[in-house]
Amino acid sequence: MKQYFPWIALAVAALWIVSNSRMPTSAPGDFDLVTFGKIPVLSDGRNKPLDTVARNAMLIIHGKQTLRLDDGRVLDARRWLADVLFNASAADKHPSFVIHNPEVLGLFGWEQDGRKYFRFAELVPFLEKIDGQGRQVASVESAKRTPFQTAIHNLRNSLILYQRLKNSVRPEVTLGFADEIAAFRAAIPPGLEAMAKREKGEPFDQKKFEAFVGLAARFQTMSEMACLLPVPPGPAGSGPREEWLSVGASLLQTISTGEGNPVTEAYALTGDAYQGGNAALFNRHLQDLAEGMAKREPQASGRAAYEFFFNQLAPFYQAMGLYVLAFLLVCGSWLGGNRSLNTAAFYVLLLALAVHTFGLGSRMYLQGRPPVTNLYSSAVFIGWATVVVGLIIERIFRDGVGSACAAVIGFTTLIIAHHLAGSGDTLEMLQAVLDTNIWLATHVVAITIGYSAMFLAGTLAVIYVARGVFTGSLTKKSAESLSRMTYGVVCFATLFSFVGTVLGGIWADQSWGRFWGWDPKENGALLIVLWCAIILHARWGGYIRQRGLMVMALFGNVITSFSWFGVNMLGVGLHSYGFMNKAVPWLAGFMISQLVLMAIASLPPGRWRSFQSEVRS
């Protein structure tokens, strides 16, 4: 039985993954929001499915990807977005806007009563106030904002996004958008004629003129408000291949081309059916829209479908679950001295790594970029690299230590990534200076692997100290092997941190003509390299031994977390992408915990439970 246990554990974990990976289906007779979610649009400079638009918008506006109505029903992101896009008056009654800050509520004269989510309809009387307050904040550096300022600024951004979404594919108030479009097309020729006459000063038909100009102005407003560009460029070969357009802009194009756009019209019909509550009609028009899109934009449609699949699978969440399971198995093997639990943990970790790798690879495919492009992806990649190295260590030493580190760091980094994703699209487009795959693939990857190795060394040190001081389980042999692992990983970290740092300098030399500028992020990388150099020299010179190495590896955690996150919080420098007020206490807490561990590790050997017998003898 024992020898089968690892395989059983693996099979259970794999079954769990498979059961979580079923694609959603819509019930017959209901609105087909699965097809809806796969339709590609251009937003924030990249093609993405409406499913991603929905999830990101909900994260920004609502703080999470599901919404609970007052009657207890739960809307998923696609349903919510369909309401916002096609049935604005219904969406206005959903409690969409998250407001935590009591001072913001005070601004409206409301007292905090445990309610966190508010309807657009409730906020309407205060729109001007919010806009005025939010505008004032825009000039304050994000690092210097008070919680109230941050909250009002975010609320203003949420409201802007919400109102732009409402006007992206149809006007937020319309009795029938398809009819409006038909009326507009009919109004164009007489309207243009009247306009020409008016310019010449001849008598013209005022009614026809107004019918045309009124609708044109309406679509112009739509085009200015739109934050989605859902209309793909015309088919290749039919004139110049332009950019994606908003619905409003594509309608205005009708004036010059005289032809309607099938995508625009399909959106109008789909939206009318949704607003009218006719699911069968909605599904039929949606099918037309999806098929037309797949024919015109096969690549964008293919990628959007893949991204939809990726979103549903949520590989990073699933990997998190597997890391927890693996960690529990390792702990079990330590407590029970059971080798098969350890093997089971190793297998589960391999599965977790596969899922993690799939997520990482999918992101690379969708973005067409090397793995690390922003802070979010750096967290995902640090976790991945650590798990790889941890598993290699486990293969060599087979004592559960490599597995435990891999599981802990894999889980922690994915949790960090999860919290970093709150600001919207994690596959965002890159600023001009970052638009170079060579340097992203070399400098950024090398630096990030350096971070991984430093955290791995630090975690090994935590295990050493925790086992040595608080338990009697740290035998001479296991202490010896932990110290070898830590030393090896520090060497690895030195190599990657150094090469990564210098490559960063070379990149800077290539794009600014300055190899080194003492920018905070550069300094952070340099601190890691210097610290590695000190550890290695101190060890070679015999100034530190096992415990000294561990204390220094613990401080490596402090330096690396400063370099990875801390410098971004200074809010200065070329690399200060993504400032996070919220993370400050977490970072400070982590650093203090490491300093405490260092103090504990510096206790004389007589106080270490594992070393007491040795000291006495």
What residues make contact with another protein under the rule CB under 8 A?
A: 42-46, 226-227, 229, 243-244, 246, 396, 428-429, 431-433, 435-436, 439, 484, 488, 491-492, 494-495, 498-499, 502-503, 505-507, 509-520, 523-524, 526-527, 530-531, 533-534, 537-538, 540-541, 543, 567, 570-573
Continuous H helices in 39-99: 50-62, 77-86, 88-91
Task: Specify the residue, 80 or 507, whose C-beta has the smaller distance to another protein.
Answer: 507
Q: Which of 237, 238, 236, 267 is nearest to 250 (CA)?
A: 267
Task: Specify the residue, 44 or 193, whose C-beta has the smaller distance to another protein.
Answer: 44
Query: Cβ atoms within 10 A of the Cβ of 71, count?
Result: 5
Question: CB-based contacts of 309: which residues, under 8 Å, 6+ apart?
Answer: 23
| Helix or strand run (H / E) with residue 44 | none
Q: Do the beta carbons of residue 491 and residue 526 sit within 8 Å? A: no
Q: Do the beta carbons of residue 467 and residue 477 sit within 8 Å? A: no
* Residue that the structure tokens 């990807």 belong to: 65
Quote the DSSP letter at residue 42.
Answer: E
Give the pair of three-digit tokens for residue 397.
């030493």
Task: Specify the residue, 518 or 585, whose C-beta has the smaller distance to another protein.
Answer: 518
Task: Specify the residue, 51 or 519, whose C-beta has the smaller distance to another protein.
Answer: 519
Smallest separation, CB 253 to another protein (Å): 15
DSSP, collapsed to helix, strand or coil, labels residue 27 as: coil
Smallest separation, CB 382 to another protein (Å): 21
Separation of alpha carbons 460 and 483, rounded Å:
8
Longest dimension (CA), the chain: 114
Task: Specify the residue, 124 or 533, whose C-beta has the smaller distance to another protein.
Answer: 533
Quote the DSSP letter at residue 443.
Answer: I
Smallest separation, CB 157 to another protein (Å): 14
Task: Specify the residue, 509 or 614, whose C-beta has the smaller distance to another protein.
Answer: 509
Smallest separation, CB 43 to another protein (Å): 7
Smallest separation, CB 518 to another protein (Å): 5
Task: Specify the residue, 45 or 472, whose C-beta has the smaller distance to another protein.
Answer: 45
Task: Specify the residue, 261 or 610, whose C-beta has the smaller distance to another protein.
Answer: 261
Smallest separation, CB 567 to another protein (Å): 7
Q: Which of 259, 288, 245 is nearest to 188 (CA)?
A: 259
Separation of alpha carbons 156 and 12, rounded Å:
47
Task: Specify the residue, 171 or 230, whose C-beta has the smaller distance to another protein.
Answer: 230
Q: Which of 418, 426, 296, 425 is nearest to 372 (CA)?
A: 426
Q: Which of 535, 557, 538, 529 is nearest to 458 (CA)?
A: 557
Query: Cβ atoms within 10 A of the Cβ of 370, count?
Result: 19
Long-range contacts of 66-74 (CB under 8 A, 24+ apart): 67/94, 67/95, 67/96, 67/117, 68/95, 69/94, 69/95, 70/95
DSSP, collapsed to helix, strand or coil, labels residue 205 as: coil
Task: Specify the residue, 364 or 502, whose C-beta has the smaller distance to another protein.
Answer: 502
| Helix or strand run (H / E) with residue 446 | helix 445-470
Smallest separation, CB 335 to another protein (Å): 27
Q: Do the beta carbons of residue 520 and residue 573 sit within 8 Å? A: yes
Separation of alpha carbons 249 and 234, rounded Å:
13
Separation of alpha carbons 104 and 111, rounded Å:
10
Smallest separation, CB 396 to another protein (Å): 7
Task: Specify the residue, 406 or 489, whose C-beta has the smaller distance to another protein.
Answer: 489
Task: Specify the residue, 147 or 571, whose C-beta has the smaller distance to another protein.
Answer: 571
Smallest separation, CB 488 to another protein (Å): 7
Q: Do the beta carbons of residue 134 and residue 156 sit within 8 Å? A: yes
Smallest separation, CB 45 to another protein (Å): 3
Smallest separation, CB 285 to another protein (Å): 25
Smallest separation, CB 128 to another protein (Å): 24
Task: Specify the residue, 340 or 563, whose C-beta has the smaller distance to another protein.
Answer: 563
Q: In terms of DSSP bridges, do strands 66-68 and 46-49 run parallel, antiparallel, or are they unpaired?
A: unpaired
Separation of alpha carbons 302 and 286, rounded Å:
17
Smallest separation, CB 307 to another protein (Å): 18
